[in-house]
Amino acid sequence: MKRSILIGGEAGRGVDRTAALIAEIFSDCGYFCFVYRDYGSFIKGGHNFSVVTISSEPVFSHEDEFDLIIALDNSALEKHVESLKPSGKVFLNSDEKQSAENVISVAADGFAADKKVGRSFGNNIFIGAVLGCFGLDWRRGFKAIGGRFSAGDAAVVKEALRLGHETWRGESFGFEPKSQKLKISTGNQAAAKACVEAGLDLCFAYPITPATGFVDALSQSGKVTVHQPEDEIAAVNQTLGAVFSGAMAATATSGEGAALMAESFSLAAMAEIPFVLYWASRLGPSTGVPTYSGQGDLKFALNIGHGEFPRVVVAPGDANESYSRTMEAFYFAYKYRLPVVILTDKNLAESYYNFEALPSLLRPGKFLVKPKAGYKSYAFTENGISPRLAPGQGPIVRATSYEHDECGLTVEDPETIEAMSEKRWRKAKFLEKEIAKLHPCRLYGKGKNLIVGWGSTKGAVIDALKRLPGYSFLQISYVAPFPAREVEKIISKAKRTILLENNSTGLLGRIIREETGIEIKEKLLKNNGRPFTAEEIAKRLQNRYA
């Protein structure tokens, strides 16, 4: 059982909120949901839409065709009616009777006016109508979301759900509530939850789509102090300062903000200050299309910062991985004293997924030691990791952008330069061994034809595999350090390999070639800001290899 709902209307009209509430209700009733959010750069006006996919089976992407369209205005109907399935219905925000048989009027604006509440409150009538259409009692819907509203508002919502439910008179889709309950989360929210559990004290961030939702979630947790400085350069340097003085801190941005942080990324590496950068990409180059998605920053994330140094770049593929990989990011940054990028994108950061915080195998922490006489900030050790001490406890603690000796004092002699560089790289060998245990890449399915990808495309590919017998999917999550041997082994066993990425040149393919020598010639690329859908992947592959 799988149904798809599109909700469309002007910005500021509650499209996103309505979609999230619907997904929350159905998840609470045990159904799997995915919500794709499509919006432009405006606060009011324009046209936004969200697509909610509801299924009795796990679902990780949205559909191209809809069983229901919720049109908050006429323009939403005009824009999307062509994607309505033949049996599909439309709920239109109107108090007039409709001539078309499959268009049902829902007097949402009238309700809001009657109750003297904001227009977006009327959207709850649509939610009631959806419940009717799917065959769920409106009271069950209210039970799932009532707690989100104040007592006064809840009474209005309750009435709206009841009234909306009455609008539906046809046969229902038959979605009975199940005993299991599921939760939803965006990639941003899931990563923020991991930060809170890792023990994050401070987040310094300058607002930028699509990373802002992550920072908002940290702020809403009430457990992390969020500070908005004057720019990204201040954000990253304040982060490094705070970590140096003993706090757990992080920053978040998108590609443009990362560009401004590049110099300090290299500082984190040289000074060996644990640094976690949550990097949510949007479509570039430059301002590009700021509210749409792309995977064009992969090579930039791998190369950001001047000079040579070990780093970690990890790319989660869904909300559960946003959580678990963020936990790992804090663990590696603090244990190994190096910069770690969590590379995500708008599709993953802002879409709603079913979410479960799976227990992490690793325990993130600050990895600080107790003060001891003779402490040296950059002591040579067997694994290259110098014990980290916070200042204020007696021993002198130093951090420096300059090449330095064990105490952190400036050097320019060739022997120490070489020894220190070697010390930093020594950490990488131990790091790689630990990462190898965490499925740095993962194979899904058994087909001989292999799709290779990373990041947010995972959802659509996993959903597409159901329609593609004979195909399997290799997801690469750790891009640095790169799991070269495993990737090589899997690709060399495949009959045919297809590279799938949301960018225009196949950046992962170039990295695979660099790391393994294997060139993947067949590519399925998309770079128009929109994510792949499962159907699109299946069709494009079937057409190509029919």
Partner 1 sequence: MHKKKDLETKMPITWCPGCPNNVILYVLKSVLKELVDAKKIRKQDIVVVTDIGCAGKIYDYLEVNAFYGLHGRAIPIATGIKMGNPGLTVIAVAGDGGTYGEGLNHLVSSSRLNPDITVIVINNGVLALTKGQPTSTHPSIGGEPIFDPVPLALASQASFVSRETAFDLRDLQSTVKAAIMHKGFSLVDIFEPCLSYNNDGERMKRDTERVCGKDIQSDFEESLRPKIRTGVFRKMSRPTLEQKLRLSKKKS
Nearest CB to partner 1, comparing residues 104 and 389: 389
Quick one: tokens of 393? Answer: 């406890």
Least distance to partner 1, CB of residue 336, Å? 20
Which residue is listed with tokens 């799997």?
32
Least distance to partner 1, CB of residue 213, Å? 22
Per CB under 8 A, does 528 bind partner 1? no
Per-residue CA distances from 471 to 100, 281, 417, 467, 501 (Å): 43, 28, 50, 9, 16
How far does CA 318 lie from the centroid of its chain? Answer: 6
Distance, in Å, from the CA atom of 300 to the CA atom of 528, rounded to the nearest integer, reads: 19
Among 12, 46, 110, 241, binds partner 1 (CB under 8 A): 241
Least distance to partner 1, CB of residue 441, Å? 35
Among 82, 171, 230, 382, binds partner 1 (CB under 8 A): 230
Per CB under 8 A, does 322 bind partner 1? no
In this structure, what is the dihedral angle of CA atoms 191, 145, 178, 352, given to the nearest 10 degrees? Answer: -30
Among 41, 172, 245, 542, binds partner 1 (CB under 8 A): 245
Nearest CB to partner 1, comparing residues 1 and 409: 409
Residue 45's DSSP bridge partners are 11
Q: Which one-letter DSSP state was computed for residue 377?
A: T
32-38 and 45-55: which strand pairing? antiparallel
Q: What is the 3-state secondary structure (H, E, C) of 145-177?
A: HHHHCCHHHHHHHHHHHHHHHHHCCCCCCCCCC
Distance, in Å, from the CA atom of 228 to the CA atom of 414, rounded to the nearest integer, reads: 41
Among 260, 302, 390, 518, binds partner 1 (CB under 8 A): 390
Per CB under 8 A, does 237 bind partner 1? yes
DSSP 3-state of 207: coil
Per CB under 8 A, does 202 bind partner 1? yes
Least distance to partner 1, CB of residue 217, Å? 18
Per CB under 8 A, does 401 bind partner 1? yes
b/e map 426-441, b = 16+ CB within 10 Å: bbbeebbeebeebebb
Least distance to partner 1, CB of residue 196, Å? 17
Distance, in Å, from the CA atom of 194 to the CA atom of 216, rounded to the nearest integer, reads: 14
Nearest CB to partner 1, comparing residues 201 and 515: 201
Among 393, 416, 421, 527, binds partner 1 (CB under 8 A): 393
| Closest by CA position to 488, among listed 519, 462, 461 | 519
Quick one: tokens of 31? Answer: 């159904």
Nearest CB to partner 1, comparing residues 137 and 201: 201
Q: Segment contacting partner 1 (CB under 8 A): 50-58, 115-123, 244-252, 487-495?
A: 244-252
Helices 232-244 & 255-271, crossing angle to 10 degrees?
A: 30
Per CB under 8 A, does 246 bind partner 1? yes
Nearest CB to partner 1, comparing residues 338 and 468: 338
Least distance to partner 1, CB of residue 349, Å? 25
Residue 104's DSSP bridge partners are 91
- The total of other beta-carbon atoms located within 10 Å of residue 473's CB is 24
Per CB under 8 A, does 146 bind partner 1? no
| Closest by CA position to 194, among listed 28, 3, 324, 73 | 324
Residues 264-283, interacting with partner 1 (CB under 8 A): 264, 267, 271
Nearest CB to partner 1, comparing residues 34 and 244: 244
Q: Segment contacting partner 1 (CB under 8 A): 37-45, 145-153, 234-242, 470-478?
A: 234-242
Distance, in Å, from the CA atom of 13 to the CA atom of 464, rounded to the nearest integer, reads: 33
Per CB under 8 A, does 259 bind partner 1? no
Per CB under 8 A, does 55 bind partner 1? no
Distance, in Å, from the CA atom of 264 to the CA atom of 440, rounded to the nearest integer, reads: 27
Q: Label residue 30 exposed, middle or buried (CB < 10 Å: 0-12, 13-18, 19+).
A: middle
Contact map string, positions 95 to 134, toward partner 1, x by CB under 8 A: ----------------------------------------
Least distance to partner 1, CB of residue 260, Å? 11
Distance, in Å, from the CA atom of 18 to the CA atom of 71, rounded to the nearest integer, reads: 12
Among 41, 98, 410, 505, binds partner 1 (CB under 8 A): 410
Per CB under 8 A, does 394 bind partner 1? yes
Number of residues interacting with partner 1: please give it, by CB under 8 A.
Answer: 42
Quick one: tokens of 173? Answer: 């889709």
Distance, in Å, from the CA atom of 104 to the CA atom of 90, rounded to the nearest integer, reads: 6
b/e map 8-20, b = 16+ CB within 10 Å: bbbbebbbbebbb
Distance, in Å, from the CA atom of 274 to the CA atom of 336, rounded to the nearest integer, reads: 7
Q: Segment contacting partner 1 (CB under 8 A): 73-81, 237-245, 320-328, 522-530?
A: 237-245
Among 111, 142, 168, 244, binds partner 1 (CB under 8 A): 244
Least distance to partner 1, CB of residue 306, Å? 11
Quick one: tokens of 206? Answer: 């300058």
Among 69, 242, 280, 441, binds partner 1 (CB under 8 A): 242
Among 73, 153, 263, 488, binds partner 1 (CB under 8 A): 263
Q: Segment contacting partner 1 (CB under 8 A): 210-218, 397-405, 466-474, 504-512?
A: 397-405
Least distance to partner 1, CB of residue 287, Å? 20
DSSP 3-state of 187: helix
Least distance to partner 1, CB of residue 28, Å? 35
Residues that bind partner 1 (CB under 8 A): 201-202, 204, 225, 227, 229-231, 233-235, 237-247, 249, 263-264, 267, 271, 390-394, 396-402, 408-410
